[in-house]
Amino acid sequence: MLVEPYNDFVRARFANPQHAGELKDRYDSICTAEVAESADGARLRLAVGIRNDAIAAMRFLAWGCPFLIAAAESLCADKENRPLGTLLEFDQNELVQQLSVPDAKFGRILLLEDALRSLAAQINANEKQD
Amino acid sequence: MLNEPIFLDYAATTPLAPEVAAAMQGWLASGRPYANPASTHVAGRESAAAVAVARDQVARLLNTKPGCLIFTSGATESDNLAIQGAARARAHRGKHLITMPTEHKAVVDTFKALERDGFQVSWLPPAVDGLLGIEDIASAMRTDTQLVSVMHVNNETGVMQNIREIGELCRSRGVLFHTDAAQSVGKVAIDLEEMPIDLLSFTAHKFYGPQGVGGLYIADRPSCKISPILFGGGQERRLRPGTVPVHLVAGLGVAAEGARQQMHTDHERMQILNDRLWNGVRNIAGVTRNGSAPQCYPGILNFSVSGVEGESLMLGMEPVCVASGSACNSVSAESSYVLRGMGRSDLLAQSAVRFSFGRATTEREIDIAIERYRNTVDHLRSIAPPISAAF
């Protein structure tokens, strides 16, 4: 039996990341967060397009292993068209299971949570300014 | 065609040559007496004769005397026996040893074990092209230096060290010289009658022989004595106890014979494939060749690319089978210690890919590999965030 390091969930999202890219300026507002694992480690940029208090679109850019790219793609797809208040709802354990992430790569998935928290902080700060 | 694996990882292992498989099958076939070559009865003598034939075949490949060769389980064991055996046999004279941090793990870890046992090791780094300067070795030598170990062809980069020059220096100083030739035996001409090498490790599965068998050359010189590191029998000059596996050794011998006959043709073909691949990728922005181009074995080509993550590069290139760093060490998430030892940054080392070619490699496969590499690099760069102050 072949030992496959990546399951079909990872392969599909890695091969065709439909949410990779940047957002055009056609939303009420756009917030962007950048996080990195370390100076030379994985990097992730998440951008959320907000319209009518909803997550109208989410895009990512990632430099990292296939698990990070697949996880970012999955997260963006999951968040789109949901209320803005659900932005921080993120079950990393469920995603880890879906992707069958090995222990050594668990830190890459935590980047998603860091990016979401950073986005939420920006959105809150923007609301206070308004 | 694109879903069929394209195997460009011949530096990790080579398939059995058909004539090797046939020779081994002859010994494995049921009904044939399959005796211990150490046994004195007629069946044992038949096995011993087959082992002797194989020893002759390997000796012809390396132009040495059959009596200078002992069979082992492969290059890792040979490296251990050569390095530990030489260090321990000469420990009463001194405990200083010299090697490189870019050697194969079989050598690096053996020297580290000797360090823990009280030996002092000078680790000489190569220049950025992977080559070790002879003057660096000369400067590191002390009156108590007993052994220098420098590999012939590096398994990750293909860089070929000047082992003749190093051997001459060692002879002039009365120091033993060992070379790990796992990647060169059967691929590069080696004349042990003429080259000043004391100990040379090799393995069959790098030149179309079976996995699980290799050997160690020990020069027929009074000063070239090594101690055994395994105990239990008198086989292989009491240096490698254990029953000699006749079918594996027979396969090794046939592989050596085939390599001797095809080496020149193989080498020319490797150069053509190497040039084709390099010319197909060299103009991609950010591509850096790892290793001294004029002094590399052409069956291995290693290069890095900036702005691309290595593991994603490997997955994107499927079904092209290549290695990132050392195949033996691919379970490690750490970037290649060999490339970092050559001064590459972690990022560049991490994006390195080793392509290695074999007799069955076609130019069409090289063209597919080039296309996959280019497309994957373009794609991964297109979805990567630009380096910003935030990082």
All residues of chain B having their beta carbon less than 8 Å from the beta carbon of residue A104 are 333
How far apart (Å, rounded) are the C-alpha atoms in residues B84 and B90? 10
All residues of chain A having their beta carbon less than 8 Å from the beta carbon of residue B391 are 34, 36, 39, 43
Q: What is the pLDDT of residue B389?
A: 45
Q: Is A104 close to B391, i.e. CB distance below 8 A?
A: no
The complex's ipTM works out to: 0.93
B351-391: per-residue pLDDT in tens? 999 999 999 999 999 999 999 999 999 999 999 998 754 44
Start-to-end Cα distance in chain A: 59
Q: What is the pLDDT of residue B326?
A: 34
- B248, B212 Cβ separation under 8 angstroms: yes
The two beta strands, B96-99 and B120-123, are parallel
All residues of chain B having their beta carbon less than 8 Å from the beta carbon of residue A14 are 312, 315-316
How far apart (Å, rounded) are the C-alpha atoms in residues B60 and B185? 12
Comparing A21-35, B10-24, B251-265, the range with the smallest average pLDDT is: A21-35
Domain boundaries, chain A: 8-123
Which of A100-104, B267-271, B326-330 has the highest mean predicted lDDT (pLDDT)? Answer: B267-271
Task: Give the pLDDT band (50/70/90) at residue A1.
Answer: low
State what percent of residues in chain B have pLDDT above 90.
Answer: 87
To the nearest whole number, what is the mean pLDDT of chain B?
93
- B350, B309 Cβ separation under 8 angstroms: yes
Q: Which helix (H) or strand (E) holds A43?
A: strand A43-51
Residue B68 backbone class (left: φ over 0; alpha: ψ -120 to 50; beta: rest): alpha
A17 touches chain B (CB under 8 A): yes
Strand, coil or helix: A9: helix
B200-215: per-residue pLDDT in tens? 999 999 999 999 999 9
Q: Is the pLDDT of residue A92 over 80?
A: yes
B18-74: per-residue pLDDT in tens? 999 999 999 998 677 788 999 999 999 999 999 999 999 999 999 999 999 999 999
Q: What is the pLDDT of residue A118?
A: 95
Start-to-end Cα distance in chain B: 41
For the residues B219-236, what does the mean pLDDT come to? 94
Cβ-proximal residues to B114 (8 Å cutoff; 6+ apart), any chain = B83, B84, B87, B97, B121
B296 a catalytic residue: no
Q: Is the pLDDT of residue A87 over 60?
A: yes
Overall fold of domain A8-123: Sufe protein. Chain: A (3.90.1010)
How far apart (Å, rounded) are the C-alpha atoms in residues B385 and A62? 6
How far apart (Å, rounded) are the C-alpha atoms in residues A37 and B32? 61
To the nearest whole number, what is the mean pLDDT of chain A?
91
Residue of A43, A67, A76 to mutate for B, most B C-beta atoms under 10 A: A43
Q: What is the pLDDT of residue A26?
A: 85
B100-110: per-residue pLDDT in tens? 999 999 999 99
pTM of the model: 0.92
Q: What is the pLDDT of residue B329?
A: 39
Q: What is the pLDDT of residue A129?
A: 77
- B120, B167 Cβ separation under 8 angstroms: no
A64-85: per-residue pLDDT in tens? 999 999 999 999 999 999 999 9
How far apart (Å, rounded) are the C-alpha atoms in residues B254 and B256? 5
Q: CB count, 10 Å around CB of B230?
A: 15
B312 touches chain A (CB under 8 A): yes
Q: What is the pLDDT of residue A17?
A: 97
Task: Please give the domain boundaries of chain B with CATH numbers for all domains.
Answer: 6-13+263-383 (3.90.1150.10), 18-258 (3.40.640.10)
Task: Give the pLDDT band (50/70/90) at residue B324.
Answer: confident
Q: CB count, 10 Å around CB of B45?
A: 13
The two beta strands, B96-99 and B145-149, are parallel
Q: Is the pLDDT of residue B1 over 90?
A: no
Query: Could you give the strand order of the β-sheet that contains A54-63, starting from the edge strand earlier in sequence?
Result: A29-36, A43-51, A54-63, A82-83
Structure tokens at B35: 């005796």
Q: Is the pLDDT of residue B331 over 60?
A: no
Strand, coil or helix: B121: strand
Cβ-proximal residues to A90 (8 Å cutoff; 6+ apart), any chain = A75, A112, A113, A116
